[in-house]
Amino acid sequence: MYGTVGSLAACFIVTFRMLATSAWIATYIVLALFAFVMVSGYLHRRSAGRVTSTASMKGKTVIITGASAGIGKEAARDIARRGARVILACRNLKKARDVAENIELSTGNSQVLVRQLDTSSLTSVRNFAAKILAEEPRLDVLALNAGIGGEADLILTEDGLELTMATNHFGHFLLANLLLGLLKKSSPSRIVVTASMAHKFLKTLDLKNLIYENGDYGSFRAYCQSKSCNILFARHLAEMLKGTGVVVNALCPGFVATEIFTKSSGFMIGKLFKVFVPLSSRTEEQGAQTIVHLAVSEEGADISGKVFEDCKVSRKAASIVQDTGLAKKVWEASEEYVKLKPEERLY
């Protein structure tokens, strides 16, 4: 009996020591991971590009979608400081009005307006565009910036579109088409599309399953796909607008601590990223720099059809978004999904 007890005690001691050792190893791994994330974040912030242009935007009208928070808000603040008439196109009117008031106080520019826009709703997009066309005589910059992270579960909008693709891509695709006539009339003008280097995680794009009607939905995949479509749509539109005076460019703002992570229910973009975002990300003001660069700089008026990062043309864009044939096919598929009418085809 005592031998059995002794053996059990010995096994317990050995097991305890193994668990203790494993716990220390796990602790070291976690600490090393956090150290790596913190160092990477520091270097990421240090490498952020800065707008060097001092160009005035007086007399110009700029629309920024998703400007009630994050990099859209900070881009609006910078451009308002340059004297532009800035329209915050946002879903949450109260929140947007508070931001507009804050921007007015910090810049002294009273021409900061709020208009309701939910890019996940094609009806909202058409209503917004109709209001802009009725009220605004010119449009110099259209910054398509609103976005969400992928949701944990597949969610369909009132139009039958997957929510992430509708918000990040289809709504912006439709809006650009609807306002294209005003942009041409106001040329030289610019379209700035906020994408993400997350597109590099997408290896294939199934044009027959853009809204996951055939399955294969994943929150992170939906986000990466929407960002790839942002770039492909911008590339094809830039090609079609050659010679019109309207330039189109996409951009990656870098890894930025914004609401897109805290509001997402998907694991990769929501729960997991919430832990690492504060340690590894850039500030919202840093993330807004490339939007502002493309909206105001002299270079932003001369280059079209490119992907920018850190206020310069990026050399890191994946091959999938450089496929001109795929860009054309994404455009054609998007026309079908948003049910683009003949009178809305202004390219």
* Domains by residue range for the chain, with CATH: 47-344 (3.40.50.720)
Digit-coded pLDDT (tens) for 85-118: 999 999 999 999 999 999 999 999 999 999 999 9
Give the CA count within 13 Å in the CB-facing half-sphere of 68.
17
Our answer to whether residue 42 is catalytic in this structure is no
Residue indicated by tokens 């579109």: 161
- Predicted pLDDT at 152: 86
- Predicted pLDDT at 33: 59
**Residue 281, pLDDT above cutoff 80:** no
Nearest-angstrom CA–CA distance, 254 and 187: 29
Nearest-angstrom CA–CA distance, 110 and 85: 8
pTM of the model: 0.85
- Predicted pLDDT at 1: 47
Query: Model confidence at 193, in pLDDT bands (50, 70, 90)?
Result: very high
Catalytic residue among 28, 223, 337, 347: 223
**Residue 44, pLDDT above cutoff 70:** no
Q: Are strands 112-116 and 312-313 parallel, antiparallel or unpaired?
A: unpaired
Nearest-angstrom CA–CA distance, 39 and 58: 41
